[in-house]
Structure 1
Amino acid sequence: MKNITDYQHKKILVLGLAKSGIAAATLLHELGAFVTVNDQKPFEANPAAQELLEKGITVICGSHPPELLDEGFELVVKNPGIPYTNPLVSKAMEMQIPVITEIELAYRVSEAGIIGITGSNGKTTTTTLIYNMLEKGEKHPLIAGNIGTVASEVAMKATSENQMVVELSSFQLMGVDQFRPHIAIITNIYEAHLDYHKTKENYAKAKANITLNQTEDDFLIVNADQEELLELVSFSKAATLPFSTKRYLEKGVSIREGKIVYFGEEIISLEEILLPGEHNQENILAAIAAVKLLGVNNDAIIRVLTSFQGVEHRTQFISDINGRKFYNDSKATNILATKSALQAFKKPVILLAGGLDRGNGFSELVPYLSGVKALILFGETAHKLEDAGKQAGIQSIYHVDNVEEAVPLSYKVSEPGDIVLLSPACASWDQYRTFEVRGNIFAQAVHKLKESR
C-alpha cells in the first residue's frame, strides 16, 4: 500500500456500510482521517458499526440525515448501491463536496497494477479467467471488486509485484475521480439497471468511466462487434485492443477457422475449450487480450481454457448423470442472460425457469426456445413463462413448487444427450434470498439425484 497523506486529518463521511463501507472506513482511519460512518441500520442491530466504534471511528446509525453534512466534511465515500437521488448525497453535491466510491480509494493507495473489467454481461467470468491465467503465468494476481474481496481491502495488502484484477459495476464507476486502470475491459453494453440510471445513455456513460482517465500508456480492450460501444469510448486516449467473435481481426483477438487468434498468432482451438457458448467466447477473447499484454505465455492460457468449467452460478457445469449434463445458471436473473445461456447449447435442453414477477412478459425469449424440448417452471412467473413456451411450440411444460422438485422431474423427462439447464430469467427473491442460494439448492439436488442412480 502506498504511504499517502492525502486524507490525514481530513473529515470524511463514509455513507452506508456493507463490505465496501467497512473497508473504506477502516482504510481511511489507518490513513489518519477523521472518519464518520453513517448507516441506516440501527446501531443495536449493526455489528459492523459496533466494531468500527471500538476502533475509534464515529458512528451514526438509523437514518441518513442531510444535516449531518453541516459538520464540515471534505469528502463523502458512498456505498455504490445508494442512489445519487438520496437527500444526503444530493445535498453533498450541491455543497460541492466530492462524492466517490471505495474503488477510487483502492486506486489511490494501490501499489499494484490494476486490470478493471466492466460490461453488462460476462464480467465475472472474464475476471475469473484473467485471474486464473495470470496465476498460471506466475504474475501474482489478486482478485477484487464485485467478485471476491472489496478492492480497497485488497489494495491495502497489494505490492508492486501484484496485479489487481477488479470487477467493476456501473454503480462503482459513477463514483470515480482519478481512477485509472492500466488495462480496462468493457465486455459489452446492453440495457440494464434502468431503475437506478433511468436511461441507457446514463448507464453506458457510467460504464465508459472505466477509461475516463486512461492515457496513451494504458490499454482499452473492447468488444468490436458492438458499434455503439466503439462510439461510446471513442474519446478514450488509451491504446484500443479490439476483440470479435464475428470477424477476423489482424490487429486484435478473434476467431479464424475455429481457432482463437491473437494478432495472427493461433492460441487454441475452440473444440479444446470446456466453457460453452458464444457469449463465453467473448469473455475468453477479452481475457486473452488482457493477459497477453502482461506477457502470459500460451501454455498458461491453454491450461486454463482446457480445465475451466465456469464460474459458480454462471452456466456452471454440475454433473453428468447417465448422459444428461446438468448446468447451473442461477445468475441468469433477466431474459438477456437466459438468451445467452440457451444459445450456448446445440443439444436439446430441459429448461428450469421462473422466479420474481417484475411485471414484464417473456415474448422476447420465444425465438430462443426453439431448442427447448421441455419447460419446468416455478415461482411467480411460471404462468407467464408457460405462455412463452406455448408460443414457441413446446409441448412438454410442467409446473413444480421449487427448484428442488424440478431436478428429479428434469431427469425423468430427459434422455441421454440432453442438457438440463437452470436459467431462471428472473430474480430469486420470491422464493430464495439470493440467486446463489437458488443455485446451491439446484446443485445439491443434482448431487442427491446422482447418488440415487
Structure 2
Amino acid sequence: MQRLVILGGGESGVGTAILGKKKGYDVFVSDFGKIKDNYKEVLTINGIKWEEETHTEKKILNADVVMKSPGIPEKSPIVKKLVEAKIPVISEIEFAAPFTDATTIGITGSNGKTTTTMLTYHLLKSAGLNVGLGGNIGKSFAWQVAEDKYDVYVLELSSFQLDGIINYKPHIAILLNISPDHLDRYEYKYEKYINSKFRITMNQTKEDYFIYDADDEAIAAWMKNNKIKARTIPFSLTKTFENGAFIKQNKMEININEEEFIMETESIALEGKHNLKNAMAATSVAKLMQIRKATIRESLSNFQGVEHRLEKVLKIQNVQYINDSKATNVNATFFALDSMNTPTVWIVGGVDKGNDYSELMALVREKVKAIVCLGVDNKKIIDAFGNVVDVMIEVDNMNDAVKMSQRLAEKGDTVLLSPACASFDLFENYEDRGRQFKQAVQNL
C-alpha cells in the first residue's frame, strides 16, 4: 500500500486525503498550524490520521509521495528534508488529475485569474455543460474528483500549484499576464516566477490549446526563446489576428478554427480594459468548446463579476465605495486606479511582497486626492506618495479607514479599497479584509 502524506490540512489537503483514501493509499495529514474543526471532523469520519501544530518527521519521511499545500514554501525545513530524501513532492492538481477523464481548462496569470475562471465557468455552465470549478478557488479539485462526475473542470492555477506539477496538462491553458508577484517565494528572481507560470503549457501537445495575452512583454519575451507545442491563440487590445481574439472599432472579435464571433464591447457586463482581456480569454475557451454564439452573448452580458474584485458596495451621499480587496499586488491596483474616472480616496497597505510603487505614480497624480494607509508598516507607501497627494493618513483598523475616507470624500468622489498588498498583518485573508470593508461601509 502506497503511503500518501499531505502537508497542510486546509481545503486542498483534506480533498486530497479523501481522494487518496478512496484510491487505496495509506493517508496521513500533517499541519504545522491548526486544522479547522470542520476539516478535522471530515478526516476523522473518513478514518484518516492527522496531526496539527507539528510535523512528526518519522511519520512524514516514510512517504511514497507527498502532496504539499500551495501555501507552504519550498524552503520550509520539512520540504527540504523530503527533497533530500528524493520523495516526490507534488501539488493537489498533479495528484488528482490522473484519476479523472474530464477535460481540464487551466487558467493562470498574475491578475484576473479568478474573474476569468468564474467567467469561463459561467459560459460553460450556462451552455448546459456538466462542469466543475476548482484549483485555487472554491471546492478542492481532488475532493470533486473523489465525489463528483464532471465532464469538464475549470481550474484557477497559482504559480505555487504549477510548481508542484510533473505530468499534468490542461487541454486548454490560459496565461493572462505576468507581473512581479510573490517574488519572496522565487528568491526575488523574476525569471523564476515567469518560468513557473509557463509550466502550465509544458506538457501540452499539438492536440491542446494555449491562449495568451499578446500585449504582455514578459510573455512575448519568453515565447521568443522557448517553443510551445500546443496550438496558440493570442488575444490583444491593439493587434488583430487571423486566428485569435482582438478588439476592433468597439467590437470584440474572436476568430478560431475558421469561425468568427463578434460582440459589441459595451454589451459586455464587466467594465474596464483589463476585463476585455479576461472576456476574450474566456470566450476563446467557449468557442473551442463549441458553445452557441447566442449563449455566449447572453452569458457575457449577464455575468456578475467576482466578490472583492472592483465590487461596488454602496453609494452614500453620492460617494461610491468600491471593494477591491483582492488586489494583493501593485499590478492589480494599477488596473483598479486605471478604471477610476472620479477623484479617488485610496485605501492602501498591508504586507508588502517586495512592491515597486513607481509604476502607480502617474495614476496616483492624476486620480488620487487622498491616501489612507491601512497597515502595520506604511513607511514605503508614505515615502513613495507623501509628496504626490495632499492628504495622507495612517490607520490600523478597517472602521477607522472607512470613517476617515468618508470625511475626506466629497460628492461625486470614489472611495477605493485596493491595498496592493497581502492582508495578513491585520486580517485573516483578503476576503476577511473585503468583508470588514463592506461591513464598515454599511455602518456609515
TM-score of the aligned structures, taking structure 2 as reference length: 0.89
Q: CA deviation at 1:403?
A: 2.9
| Corresponding residue of 2:66 | 76
| Corresponding residue of 1:197 | 186
- Report if aligned partners of 2:376, 2:396 keep a CA contact under 8 Å in 1: no
**SS at structure 2 position matched to 1:306:** helix
1:223 maps to 2:213:
yes
**SS at structure 1 position matched to 2:277:** helix
- Report if aligned partners of 1:309, 1:316 keep a CA contact under 8 Å in 2: no
1:113 maps to 2:103:
yes
Equivalent positions of 1:17-416 (< 5 A) are 17-41=9-33, 48-49=39-40, 51-53=42-44, 55-68=46-59, 71=62, 73-159=63-149, 162-198=151-187, 199-232=189-222, 234-263=226-255, 265=260, 267-356=262-351, 362-369=357-364, 370-382=366-378, 384-392=380-388, 394-400=389-395, 402-416=397-411
**SS at structure 2 position matched to 1:391:** coil
2:233 and 2:28 map into 1 onto residues whose CA distance is 42
2:320 and 2:61 map into 1 onto residues whose CA distance is 60
- Report if aligned partners of 1:111, 1:158 keep a CA contact under 8 Å in 2: no
Aligned equivalent of 1:428, options 423, 426, 429:
423
Moved more, 216-225 or 404-413: 404-413
Q: CA deviation at 1:243?
A: 0.7
- Report if aligned partners of 1:14, 1:25 keep a CA contact under 8 Å in 2: yes
2:292 and 2:48 map into 1 onto residues whose CA distance is 47
Q: CA deviation at 1:167?
A: 0.5
Q: CA deviation at 1:309?
A: 4.1
- Report if aligned partners of 1:27, 1:153 keep a CA contact under 8 Å in 2: yes
Letter in 1 for 2:111: N
Compared CA separation, residues 157 and 36, structure 1 to 2 (3 A): closer
What is the aligned-residue identity percentage?
39
Letter in 1 for 2:214: A
2:302 and 2:312 map into 1 onto residues whose CA distance is 12
- Report if aligned partners of 1:112, 1:155 keep a CA contact under 8 Å in 2: no
Q: Deviations over 1:281-307 (max 9, x none)?
A: 221111111111111233333333333
Letter in 2 for 1:372: V
Q: Deviations over 1:112-158 (max 9, x none)?
A: 21111111111101101111111222223211111111111122234
TM-score of the aligned structures, taking structure 1 as reference length: 0.87
2:179 and 2:253 map into 1 onto residues whose CA distance is 26
1:389 and 1:306 map into 2 onto residues whose CA distance is 38
Aligned residues: 437
- Report if aligned partners of 2:19, 2:146 keep a CA contact under 8 Å in 1: yes
**SS at structure 1 position matched to 2:302:** coil
Compared CA separation, residues 227 and 55, structure 1 to 2 (3 A): same
1:425 and 1:81 map into 2 onto residues whose CA distance is 19
**SS at structure 2 position matched to 1:59:** strand
RMSD over aligned Cα atoms: 2.7
**SS at structure 2 position matched to 1:432:** coil
Query: Where does the alignment leave 5 or more consecutive residues of structure 2 unmatched?
Result: none
2:180 and 2:160 map into 1 onto residues whose CA distance is 14
- Report if aligned partners of 2:134, 2:154 keep a CA contact under 8 Å in 1: yes
- Report if aligned partners of 1:279, 1:344 keep a CA contact under 8 Å in 2: no
Aligned equivalent of 1:10, options 2, 27, 34:
2
1:95 and 1:128 map into 2 onto residues whose CA distance is 39
Moved more, 284-293 or 355-364: 355-364
Letter in 2 for 1:57: I
